[in-house]
Amino acid sequence: MSEDQNPSGDGKGQTREQHKHSAEIGSRNPYQNPDGGVTTTGHVWDDDLADFNNQPPRWWMLGLAASAIWVVVYWLYYPSVPVPTSNTFFKGVGGWSAIKEMEADKGEVDAVRGKYEAKLKDMTPAAILADNDLTEYVKRSGKVLFGDNCAPCHGTNGVGTKDKEGLFAPVLNDDDWLYGGKIDDIYTTISGGRQGMMVAHKDSLSETQIIDVAKYVKALSEGKGDSEPAGKKVFMESDCTACHGADAKGVQAMGSANLTDTIWRFDGSLEGIKHTVAYGVNSGDPKARVAIMPNFKEAGKLSDADIKKLAVYVYKFGGGQADAPAAPAAPAQAAAEAAAPAVAAK
């Protein structure tokens, strides 16, 4: 059927122009679809596009009504809007709040942690390390403590952080320790803090001597100490051996560095070593290197239990030095029960 034919006379098959003409002479609803049956909004785009006035499906209308009812119920049950009431505000029929939910969740966590926390409270770090269950617990719970208190300086997972002078804070996941890597050493470091000191030598050594000893220290780290006899002479005859030892391997009781390895607390370049020798560490000189670890126990930031957990957590990074672990502490109740049969037999 061509656009010019209209055998039924009801508008079907009419062209857009014929439809308009029928509407103008009053023989057709101007808002009726030219294909018949359904009225339109009367808006026409691009000559032949119009919006139908079809009603939405019943399921869609029921869903819309249900959604509106759900919004009202939700708004009444939860404190969606803090509408003022007498001396307070509307808190919802259910009385829910984010704080209550957080406290409930925290209660569940504390219930799980409680048995471990109560057990490790009176144990030494070495005893905790000897207990596999407690060690596994500390490895998990200590991650948050480390992230909040240690990672800002020592980096995530103890990888250390650097600034323009070298390491801002030491790496904790290797086996190089200034003050010792045994579990009790780590506990002492965290609980009491550390502030080593190296004197400035700019006034006690000449510029030539400082250059010579810096070259010697650099050569030591490369396994070629004997290649710098002048620097070695300065090292042996000055006060260097008093702290670093005649073998230059450092003294952990003093926190002095091992100068024979390739791990540098500060800038390990020749210029960096010269600067450290000349101005020292925590020496009071304005140009001195600064290396201070705070006393977390004295600052009140960490409890003794927290410090023990952190000591074990850092030890388990993999660089902790082996030590004969103490036997797990036996609870007093278990000891009393063990002794009871012997008493009864007498």
Provide the residue ranges of all domains of the chain, joining segments of one domain with +. 58-89, 156-299
Q: Quick one: pLDDT at residue 1?
A: 37
Cβ–Cβ under 8 Å, residues 182 and 323: yes
Q: How many CA atoms lie within 13 A of 165 on its CB side?
A: 15
Residues in the chain: 346
Q: Quick one: pLDDT at residue 336?
A: 47
Q: Quick one: pLDDT at residue 330?
A: 52
Beta bridge partners of 149: none
The CA distance from 200 to 279, in Å, is: 4
Q: Which of 99, 79, 75, 97 is nearest to 89 (CA)?
A: 79
Q: Quick one: pLDDT at residue 98?
A: 86
pLDDT beneath 70, residues of the chain: 1-37, 323-346
- Reading the block at residue 43, the tokens are 């808006």
Amino acid occupying residue 141: S
Q: Quick one: pLDDT at residue 37?
A: 64
CA angle 300–301–303, rounded 5-degree value: 75
Amino acid occupying residue 20: K
27 to 19, 23, 36: CA distances (angstroms): 10, 6, 13
pLDDT, tens digit, 9 for 90 and up, residues 283-297: 999 999 999 999 888
Q: Which of 305, 328, 314, 288 is nearest to 180 (CA)?
A: 314
Q: Quick one: pLDDT at residue 13?
A: 45
Q: Quick one: pLDDT at residue 137?
A: 92
Q: Quick one: pLDDT at residue 341?
A: 43
Q: Quick one: pLDDT at residue 49?
A: 81
Q: What is the CATH number of domain 156-299?
A: 1.10.760.10
The CA distance from 283 to 107, in Å, is: 49
Q: Which of 112, 106, 149 is nearest to 309 (CA)?
A: 149
Q: How many CA atoms lie within 13 A of 168 on its CB side?
A: 13
Q: Quick one: pLDDT at residue 202?
A: 94
Residue with tokens 């480390």: 146
Q: Quick one: pLDDT at residue 31?
A: 56
Cβ–Cβ under 8 Å, residues 248 and 231: no
